[in-house]
Structure 1
Amino acid sequence: MINERELESGLTQVEAERRLKKYGANVLKQKKRVSPIKIFISQFNDFITWILIVATIISGFMGEKADAITILIIVIMNSILGFVQEFKTEKSLEALKEMASPTSKVIRDGKVKVINAGELVIGDVILLETGDKVPADCILLSTGNFMVDESLLTGESVGVEKDSGDKNNSLYMGTIVIKGKGRAKVVETGMKTEMGKIAGMLQDIEKERSPLKEKLASLGKVLVVMCIAICIVVTLTGVWRGQDKYEMFLVGVSLAVAAIPEGLAAIVTVALALGVSRMLKRNALIRKLPAVETLGCTSVICSDKTGTLTENRMTVKALYFNGRVHRIGKDILPENVLMKKAFTYCNDCNFDMKKADISGAVIGDPTEVALIKAFFKDIKTLNTFLGKARRTYDIPFDSDRKMMSVIMKEGSRKIGYVKGAPERVIRRCKYILDGSEVRIFTSDEKNKALKAVEKMSFDALRCIAGAYKDKEVVPGKSLEENLIFIGVAGIIDPPRKEAKDAVLKCKLAGIRPVMITGDHKNTAFAVGKELDICKHESEVITGEELDKLSDRQLAVKIQDISIFARVNPGHKLRIVKAFKAKGNIVAMTGDGVNDAPAVKEADIGICMGIAGTDVTKEASSMILLDDNFATIVSAVEEGRVIYDNIRKFIRYLLSCNLGEVLTMFLTSIFYLDTPLLPIQILMVNLATDGLPAIALGVDPPQGDIMRGKPRAKNESIFARGLSEKIIVRGALIGVCTVLAFVIGLYLGFGLKTSRTIALCTLIMSQLIHVFECRSENHSLFEINLFTNVYLLAAVATSITMVLCILYLPFLRGVFHTSALRISQWAIVLFFSGIIAFLNSLYLYFK
C-alpha cells in the first residue's frame, strides 16, 4: 500500500535511483544489436568483392605479390570506409530511437517531473490522462471517469472502465488511456509486466525502409548487370586482340568494382541519417525515415494556432461580468469571488508550493496558468484559497464538448463549476449572476454576452466562459445543465516573432500555410491577418460551416480557405482528406488523442513534443520538440536539402562511373592499348567514389532552396534533366581521358607515362566535377567553394593520394606510374578542366 504522503510527494530521487539499480530499467528486451565486428565483416559480403579477393589470390600464386598486396589493401580500405559509413548510421539511428522513447509524468520529491519511461521504478506515483500510454503495470490510486483501451492485450476494442475504489483498478503497460485522468502507483516494470511476459513490442525505427533507398537498390541491380556486360565485352575484346588473359581478367574485375555504384543505397542511408541529426538540432525529431523524403514535397502545412503559431504565453487582458468588459490594468475591478472560484477550481494545474513566485509555482496548460495568475499574486494566498474546498468529481475537457466541469465540496455544500467555450457555456446557462443577485438569463442578455465575446475576439483575445451550479449538483451529464452564468475571461496569446518570417518563407517556397484552431473565428482571423496567413475574412471558415459542406463541396472550397476556426479533431481529418483530394502533400499538426487519425492520414503527421499525447506521437512521422511553426518550416527546408544532396551524389557517382567504363570501352573498340591497369582502376575508385560522395551528402543548402515550388511526390530522382546531365558529363569524362591518353602516346611519352596521364586526367576530372555537382543551376563561378569544408578535405585527401602514387618511389612502383613533369600536368589539367570551364561559362551566361 501507499500512504497519503507518498501519494502527494511520491518517491525521493535517491530512493528511485536505489530501486532502479535493484530492479533494473523499465524496458522490454530488445533484439541484440549488430556488433561493429559483424558490420565490418558484412562489408566483404559482396559478389564483386569476393571475385576481387579471388583475383588477389591468383595474383599471389602467379608471382605478382606487389599487385596482390596492393589490391588487398585497397579492398580493405574500401571496406573500412563502408564500415565507418554504416557504423555512424547505426549510431545516429540508435540515438534517434532513444530520443523517440516514451516519457512519463512522475511525482518525485513532491514535484511533477517528466522522465524517460525507462527510468520508472516500482513504487513510483505517476500522472495519467487521456491519450497517455500506460508506461508500466500499475494500480489506480485516484481517478475520475477513467477508461482504458486494452485491445493490445485482450483484442477487445471496447474501452474498459477503471476505478481506484474497487478491484478493477489494474493498469497494464502499453494500454492507452482513452478517457479521464488519475494517479497510479507502479507495481511492475520491464519484463515482469504483463506486456513483458507476452512479447516485446518496441518499434525498431531504424529498420524502416526508405522508398528512395528501395528504388536506388533496384536501380543498382540494373546498373550491375549493365556494367558487368560492358566489362565482359572489354575483357573479351582484349583477349581477342591477343592481350594477356590474366591481365584482361583483372582489368574486367577491377573495372566492375570501379563502375558498379555499390555504395549508392548506403550513402542514401547516411544522407538521411545525417539529415535526421541536423533536424534534431533544429528541434524536429523524425520518427520514420521515409518522412524525410516526403518533407521536401510538402505543399500545405496545417498548423494548430496556440503554442505553434503563437507563443503559448497566455495573459488575461479583459474580464466580462455584470454586463460590461473590464480591461485589466486600466479599470478598477470589483471583487468577483465566484469567477475566481470557477477559473481556479475548474483547473488542472499543478502547484509547487515551495516556490514564492506565482509564475514558477503554477505548472500546467498555459490557458489555465493564465487564469490563476490573473486572480492570485502570490502562492501563499493561492494555497489558502485552495484549502477551502476539495474536488470530489470532474468531467475532463474534451474537444467535442469544449468544456470542463468539477464538483467541489465547500464545507457542507457541493457546488459545480464549469468553464469552456463561451457559446457552449452560455447555451447551457439558465441563470445569470448580476452582482450578488441570481436571475433568469434572458435571450437579450445572452446575445449581449456573445457580442462582448465577439468584440473581445476581434482584439485577438481567446475567450473562456465560467459558470456554476449550486442546486441538484450530482455527478453526470446533468452537471452541465441549467447553469448560472458568471462571466468571460479574455486571454491574449501573442504570435511568435519567428512565425511571420516562417509564413513568408512558406509562401516563397510555394507552400500554403493553413491555421487550424478551436478559437473563435474573429480571434483566429486577427492572429492570421497579423501573421499574413490570410487577408480577408472570406478565407476563414468555422467548424459549424464545415459541417454543412459535403466532402465534394469541401474539396472545391478548400483552395480558398486559410483558417479553420472552432473546429474539432473530426474536422481535422476531413480537412486533410480534402487537401489531399486536390493533389496536395499535407503536413498536419496535432497533440490530443483525437488528433491521431488526422495526423496518421496526413502525408507528414506532426505531433507536439511538449503538449502531445503518446497516441498522437505514435501516429506521427515527426515530433516538434518546441511546438513551434518555424520548426516545421525548417524541417521542410531540411527535407529539400537532403533530397537535393541525394541528387548531387547520384549525379556525381553515376557520371564518374560512366566515364570510367567509357574510358576502357572506347580504347578497346578503337584497338588502343589498355589505358589503365587493374590496380590503377581500383585507385580511381578509392580516390573518387568514397569521401567526395559522402561529403556531397552533407552539402549546405543553396540560397534559393526555399524559392522553388515543392517537387511532386512521385517525381523520379532523375527528373528535371538529371539523367541527361549524367550521360553527357560521363561521356565527356571518358572522351577527355581517352584523348589525354592518345596525346601522351602521340607525343612519345611512352605507354607508362601516357597511362599515368590518363589516370590523373580521370581522377582530376572527377574531383573537379564534384564541385559542379553542388548546384544544378549555378556555375562554378557562382558557387562558394569554401562553404563545404568536408568536401574540400575529401578532395584534398584524394589529390594527396594521387601525388603519393606519382612521387613516392615505392608507391610509384606498386601502381606502375611515372612522375609527371609540368608540361604533362598541363595536358592533365587541360582535359580534366576544359569541360567544367565551358559548362560553367554556359550556365553563367544562361
Structure 2
Amino acid sequence: MSGLTSKQARERLRQDGENELSASAKLHPVRMFLGQFRDVMVLILLAATAVSAFLGEVTDAVTIILIVLLNAILGFLQEFRTEQTLESLRNLTAPTAAVCRDGTWQTIPARELVRGDCIRLEAGDNVPADAALASASGLAVNESILTGESEAVAKRSGDPADTGNDLHKPNIVYAGTAVLRGSAEGIVIATGTYTQMGKISVMLQDVRQDMTPLQKRLAGLGKVVALLCLGVCAAVFLAGILRGEPVFDMLMTGITIAIAAIPEGLPATVTIALALAVSRMMKHGALVNRLHSVETLGCASVICSDKTGTITENRMTVTAISAGGESFQVTGTGLHIAGAFLQDGHMVNPSAKPALRELLVCGSLCSTAELHRETPEKSQRNRSQRTERGSWHAVGDPTEAALLVAAEKAGISREKLLRQHPVRHMEPFDSETRRMAVTVSAGAGVCTYWKGAADCILEQCGFQMLGDKTVPLTAAQKRSIREQAAQFSDQALRVLALARQDGTGDCVFLGLAAMIDPPRESARTAIRTCARAKIRTVMITGDHKNTASAIARQAGLLRGKKAMTGAELDALSDAQLDACLDQYAVFARVNPAHKLRLVRAYRRRGEIVAMTGDGVNDAPAIKEADVGVAMGRSGTDVARQAADVVLTDDNLATLVDAVEQGRCVYANIRKFVRYLLSCNIGEVLTMFLGILMGMPVVLLPTQLLLVNLVTDGLPAIALGLEPPEPEAMQRPPRKPDESFFSDGLMGRIVFRGIMIGICTLGTFAVLLRLGGTLEAARTGALCTLILSQLIHVFECKSERKTLFSIPYASNGWLIGAVLVSVGVLAAAIAVPALRVIFSTVLLTGQQTGIATAFSLAVPLVSSLAGLGRRKG
C-alpha cells in the first residue's frame, strides 16, 4: 500500500479540516459567574441587602449577601464543570498515527490524518480515525466507549467498497477505541466530526440543560415571596397614612416589615438540605456532581438503564453444561466462589461424571485468564458443592474467567493443572477460525485442548466422550449437538464447544458450556421497588435483541412489554415513536443517536428521565436527561463529567436508593418552606394587625431579630435532616408541572401563619388587659410567638400525620435544635444583661401560663380536628 502523496493529503486537509473533535465557543468564567444572579429569589435577596444596609441593619445585610454568594459559587462550579466534558472527549483521541505517505511509513500528529490515508495499527494503540480494514491478523478491539459492551470485538478485513462507518461493523475500526491484540492496516474513511466519536461530540454540543424541577419551583416561590413583600409594604404604608402617621416613617416601617417577611434563610437552608442529602447518598455509593439533581431524582418517572454492569453482574457465568450425553445446571453467579452442579434438580459430584470433569479441565487449561482469591482459602467443599463465601478476582477475558470459576466449583484448580500439565504451545483465538487451542504435556506425550464456536469444533471432531469411553461421533449426534447449541442460543446464552486431541490422534468432542451475564439480585429488587413507586424502568443497550430480552425477562423488566432494535427505531417517525413508546421496555442494538432520541422522546411526554451509562456513547443521552447517571467503576471520564450523579458500585439498586433520598429531600424542603413561611406570616401579621388595631408596637426590632435568630435557623435546618418516610417509595412521582404548594400546602401555611399572629396578639392584648406592663406584654407576646413556632416545627415533620401520631424520636437533631432555641429564649428573659439588650422582663406564673396556653391552643385544636377527620 503506497498511501496518499503529501500533496493529496494537504488538499484533503484543506477540504475536510483537521482530524479533531469540534470545540464550542467557551463562555468566559466572569460572565458565567454573573449569570448566577438572574434568579428572582436572588434579586429579592439583593434588594433586601440594599435596604437592610440603608436602614443600618449591617448584620442582616452581611448574612444575606453571604447566602447569595454561596449559592452563586455552587451554580458557577456546576456550569464550569460541564464545560470540561468536551475537553475530556478530545483527550480520548490518539496523539499520533502511523501512516503511509509518499510510499513510506511515518509517524505524524493524528490531527493531520485525512480520508484515504493508509494507517497501521498494533496492540496497545488507540485508533486515530475511523478506518476500513484492508488486512488484519488476530485483531481484537475494545469498543466499549462507543457500544457500552466490554467484550473484545474481533475484526477482519472486508469489501474495499464497504466504507460506511456505522457501528457494529466487523471490517471497520473506530476513532478512540483501543486495539487489544493483533495488528492491521486500514484506509481512513472518516476524520474529525465525521467519525463516530465526532458525531458524539456534535451531539454533546447540541444538548442544552434546562432548569431542574426544584429550580423552577423555587423560582415560582420567589415570585410569590416578591408579591407578598410588595403587598405587605403597600398595606402597612396605606394603613399608617390613613391613621395620620408621617409618610416617611410609615414607608420605612412598611419596608422593614416586608424585609422581615422575606425568608432569607430559605436559599441557605435549601442548599444545606441538598448537601446533607448528598452526604447520605455518598454513604450509599452515589456521588453527586450537581447539587439540585438530588431533588430531581425524586421526580424521576422513567429510568433508562444500561444492561451490562448495571442490571447485570458484568461477569459471565456458566449456567448450563451438556457433556457425555447429559445435561447439568451450575449454580452461583459471577465470581462468587460458592456453587454446585445439578442434574434434574439434584446435586451431583462432578468427579463422578468423567465427561463433565474432562470438559471443565479443558476449559481451565485452554485459557489465558487467571483467578486470584480475595479471601484466604478455606476447605469448605464437599463432593457435590462448594460452600465458601467470598469471591474470586479475575484477570483476562470474561468468558474464559467464567469457565475457570465453573472448574473451581468442581474442585479443579488451573494452577494445579498447569503444574501437572505444563503448556508447550498456545494458538490464540482467531476471528477467522473462531477457536483457540493449547497443547500441554500429558505423561510422556502431549494433549491438545480446543475451545471455540460449536460449528467449528464439531467439524474437526470424529469422536465424542460418553461416560468414561470414547465413541464415534455420528452425523445424527452432530445434528443433535447443534440443536442443543441452538436451544442455548435461543435462551440468550453464549455457547462454547470444547474438545480434546491426544497426540496426533482424532479430536474428541467433550461437550457444550453455556453462559450468560446474569441479572443482579439487587437489580431485580430495585426494579420491583420502582414498579411500586410508579417509576418505569427501561433497558437501553448495544447488545443483541434476544440477549437483552432474556435478561430483561429474568430481571422482571418486560412484564408484558416488548423489545425494539435500533433499526426498528430508525423506521419510526417521532410521532409514531411517541404513540408506541409505552409498549416497549427494551431497546437493543442501539447507537448514541438512538439513546439521545429515546431520552428526548420520554421528555416530550412530560416524563422526568434518569439515564445511566458508562461509555462515551452514553454521554449525549446522559447530558440530555433530567438526571444523568454515570458508572464509577466502569465509566469513562467523559460519561462521569457529563453526569449529575456517579454510582461508585455501578448498581441499579444504588440509583433507586438515591431516588428515595431525592424524594426525601423534596419532602424536607416542603417541610421547612411550610415552617419558614408560616413563621414569617405570623411575624408580619403580628406587627401589621397591631398597627391596624392602634396598639403600641407589639415587638421591638431587637425582639424580632431574636425571633428570627431562634426560629429561622437551627429548627429549619434540622427539618432538612428528616429521614425518608416509610411510604416514600409507595407513591407515584411528582408531576414536573406540579406547584410547589400543591396538596393544600399554601392553605396550611397561610392558616397556620394567621393563627400564630392572632395568638401572639392575643397574649399581648390579654396581658395588657390584666394590668401588665407594656414590657411584660411584649415579653409574653415574644414567648407565644417563639413557642408556637417551635411547636409548629413538629407539625411540619409530616403532611399526613398530626402531633399525636408523628414519630418524635426519628430526628434527634430537631429535638436538639428546639431545646437550644427554648434555652436561648429562656436566657433572653432570665439573664439580666440579655434582658437589657432584648427589652424583656421576668413574667409571673400567671403571665407565663397565658403565653404558654396561647402557644398550645392552635396546634392542639388542629391535631384534634385532624384526628377527628381521620376517624370519620
Same fold at TM > 0.5: yes
How do 1:41-56 residues align onto structure 2 when only pairs under 5 Å count?
46-56=46-56
Structure 1 stretches of 5 or more lacking a match? 1-29, 35-41, 57-70, 103-116, 118-130, 142-149, 184-202, 396-403, 469-484
1:548, distance to aligned residue in structure 2 (A)? 9.7
In structure 2, what is the Cα distance between the partners aligned to 1:287 and 1:255?
A: 38
Q: Secondary structure of 1:280's match? A: helix
How do 1:651-730 residues align onto structure 2 when only pairs under 5 Å count?
651-730=674-753
Q: Which residue of 2 aligns with 1:259?
A: 261
1:582, distance to aligned residue in structure 2 (A)? 5.0
The alignment status of 1:504 with 2:518, answered yes or no, reads no
Q: Secondary structure of 1:285's match? A: strand
**CA spacing shift, 1:405–1:829, aligned 2, 3 Å:** farther
Deviations 1:464-491 (A, max 9, x none): 44699xxxxxxxxxxxxxxxx9975322
Residue type of the alignment partner of 1:432: E
In structure 1, what is the Cα distance between the partners aligned to 2:579 and 2:477?
A: 38
Residue type of the alignment partner of 1:454: Q
1:363, distance to aligned residue in structure 2 (A)? 2.3
Residue type of the alignment partner of 1:316: V
In structure 2, what is the Cα distance between the partners aligned to 1:547 and 1:51?
A: 58
How do 1:513-524 residues align onto structure 2 when only pairs under 5 Å count?
513-515=537-539
Q: Which residue of 1 aligns with 2:425?
A: 388
Q: Secondary structure of 1:261's match? A: coil
Q: Which residue of 2 aligns with 1:180?
A: 178
Contact kept in structure 1, 2:599 and 2:625, CA below 8 Å: yes
Greater Cα offset, 500-509 or 776-785? 500-509
Residue type of the alignment partner of 2:176: I
Q: Pick from 401, 419, 428 the counterpart of residue 369 of structure 1.
A: 401
Q: Which residue of 1 aligns with 2:286?
A: 284
1:709, distance to aligned residue in structure 2 (A)? 0.8
Contact kept in structure 2, 1:585 and 1:603, CA below 8 Å: yes
In structure 1, what is the Cα distance between the partners aligned to 2:48 and 2:318?
A: 71
1:710, distance to aligned residue in structure 2 (A)? 0.9
Greater Cα offset, 817-826 or 775-784? 817-826
1:657, distance to aligned residue in structure 2 (A)? 1.2
Q: Which residue of 2 aligns with 1:7?
A: none
Q: Secondary structure of 2:840's match? A: coil
Q: Pick from 736, 742, 746 the counterpart of residue 759 of structure 2.
A: 736
The alignment status of 1:333 with 2:360, answered yes or no, reads no
The alignment status of 1:620 with 2:657, answered yes or no, reads no
**CA spacing shift, 1:821–1:94, aligned 2, 3 Å:** farther
1:641, distance to aligned residue in structure 2 (A)? 0.7
Greater Cα offset, 769-778 or 42-51? 42-51
Q: Secondary structure of 2:514's match? A: strand
**CA spacing shift, 1:548–1:432, aligned 2, 3 Å:** farther
How do 1:410-425 residues align onto structure 2 when only pairs under 5 Å count?
none
TM-score, L = length of structure 1 = 0.67
In structure 2, what is the Cα distance between the partners aligned to 1:771 and 1:541?
A: 49
How do 1:2-401 residues align onto structure 2 when only pairs under 5 Å count?
46-56=46-56, 78=63, 134=91, 163=121, 178-181=176-179, 212-213=214-215, 215-217=217-219, 219-220=221-222, 223-224=225-226, 226-228=228-230, 230-231=232-233, 233-234=235-236, 237-238=239-240, 241=243, 251-252=253-254, 254-312=256-314, 314-320=316-322, 329=341, 330=350, 331-333=353-355, 335=358, 340=363, 344=367, 360=392, 362-363=394-395, 366-374=398-406, 377-379=413-415, 388-389=425-426
Q: Which residue of 2 aligns with 1:454?
A: 487
1:779, distance to aligned residue in structure 2 (A)? 0.9
Query: How many residues were matched structurally?
Result: 693
1:600, distance to aligned residue in structure 2 (A)? 4.2
1:705, distance to aligned residue in structure 2 (A)? 1.0
Q: Which residue of 2 aligns with 1:463?
A: 494
In structure 2, what is the Cα distance between the partners aligned to 1:158 and 1:733?
A: 79
Contact kept in structure 2, 1:617 and 1:623, CA below 8 Å: yes
Q: Secondary structure of 1:699's match? A: coil
Q: Which residue of 1 aligns with 2:657?
A: 634
Contact kept in structure 2, 1:220 and 1:262, CA below 8 Å: no
1:748, distance to aligned residue in structure 2 (A)? 1.9
**CA spacing shift, 1:625–1:221, aligned 2, 3 Å:** same
Q: Which residue of 2 aligns with 1:107?
A: none
Deviations 1:27-79 (A, max 9, x none): xxx98999xxxxxxx999944345444444xxxxxxxxxxxxxx666777x56
The alignment status of 1:434 with 2:471, answered yes or no, reads no
Greater Cα offset, 327-336 or 496-505? 327-336
Contact kept in structure 2, 1:322 and 1:435, CA below 8 Å: no
In structure 2, what is the Cα distance between the partners aligned to 1:245 and 1:621?
A: 52
1:727, distance to aligned residue in structure 2 (A)? 1.8
**CA spacing shift, 1:731–1:366, aligned 2, 3 Å:** farther
In structure 2, what is the Cα distance between the partners aligned to 1:751 and 1:160?
A: 95
Q: Which residue of 2 aligns with 1:121?
A: none
1:275, distance to aligned residue in structure 2 (A)? 1.6
Q: Secondary structure of 2:746's match? A: helix
**CA spacing shift, 1:577–1:442, aligned 2, 3 Å:** farther
In structure 2, what is the Cα distance between the partners aligned to 1:159 and 1:687?
A: 74
1:676, distance to aligned residue in structure 2 (A)? 1.2
Residue type of the alignment partner of 2:414: D
1:390, distance to aligned residue in structure 2 (A)? 7.5
**CA spacing shift, 1:833–1:632, aligned 2, 3 Å:** same
**CA spacing shift, 1:529–1:432, aligned 2, 3 Å:** same
Deviations 1:297-328 (A, max 9, x none): 22233434554344455442434579875667
Q: Secondary structure of 2:730's match? A: coil
Contact kept in structure 1, 2:458 and 2:478, CA below 8 Å: no
Contact kept in structure 2, 1:285 and 1:624, CA below 8 Å: yes
**CA spacing shift, 1:725–1:609, aligned 2, 3 Å:** same
Greater Cα offset, 253-262 or 577-586? 577-586
Residue type of the alignment partner of 2:493: R
1:660, distance to aligned residue in structure 2 (A)? 1.4
In structure 2, what is the Cα distance between the partners aligned to 1:541 and 1:85?
A: 49
CA RMSD in angstroms comes to 5.5
Contact kept in structure 2, 1:736 and 1:831, CA below 8 Å: yes
In structure 2, what is the Cα distance between the partners aligned to 1:355 and 1:796?
A: 49
**CA spacing shift, 1:380–1:250, aligned 2, 3 Å:** farther
Structure 2 stretches of 5 or more lacking a match? 1-27, 34-41, 99-108, 130-144, 147-173, 182-204, 331-340, 342-349, 378-389, 441-447, 465-471, 500-508
Q: Which residue of 2 aligns with 1:644?
A: 667
1:773, distance to aligned residue in structure 2 (A)? 1.4
In structure 2, what is the Cα distance between the partners aligned to 1:517 and 1:500?
A: 17
Contact kept in structure 2, 1:500 and 1:532, CA below 8 Å: yes
Q: Secondary structure of 2:629's match? A: strand
The alignment status of 1:610 with 2:630, answered yes or no, reads no
**CA spacing shift, 1:714–1:277, aligned 2, 3 Å:** same
Greater Cα offset, 310-319 or 558-567? 558-567
Contact kept in structure 2, 1:660 and 1:734, CA below 8 Å: yes
Contact kept in structure 2, 1:679 and 1:815, CA below 8 Å: yes
Contact kept in structure 1, 2:71 and 2:271, CA below 8 Å: no
